[in-house]
Amino acid sequence: MLEFATALILLAMFMALLSAIFGKTVYDKILAVNIFGTVTVLFIAVFGFMKERPEFLDIAMVYALINFVATIAILKFFEYGDMGRGSSLPDDVDI
């Protein structure tokens, strides 16, 4: 049963990969990366149960958080053209 679920998740990964490769617009690719992250979370969860180590679930949850942050950063990049540092305050400090 869990093997079947893993196989289906791998299939979903492959379809997300195809969408990232052959997607026409940039938004298709962003969506594909996001879907791929979600499918990775599912994969780690199911794989943990398949190997009888369900404590992998914690890691899967942290993956979900990372995926969310990355998507927000990408969308912010689209909105502002950079990482959104455009503050109007004086900024004499250089790295």
Q: Which residues bind other proteins (CB under 8 A)?
A: 3, 6, 10, 13-14, 16-17, 20-21, 26, 29-30, 32-33, 36-37, 40, 43-44, 47, 50-51, 56, 59, 62-63, 66-67, 69-70, 73-74, 77, 81-83, 85, 88-91, 93-95
Contact (CB, 8 A) for 77 and 83: yes
CB of 10 to other proteins, least distance (A): 5
Q: What is d(CA 31, CA 16) in angstroms, rounded to the nearest whole number? A: 9
Contacts of 34 (CB under 8 A, 6+ apart): 67, 71
Structure tokens given for 51:
């190997």
CB of 19 to other proteins, least distance (A): 10
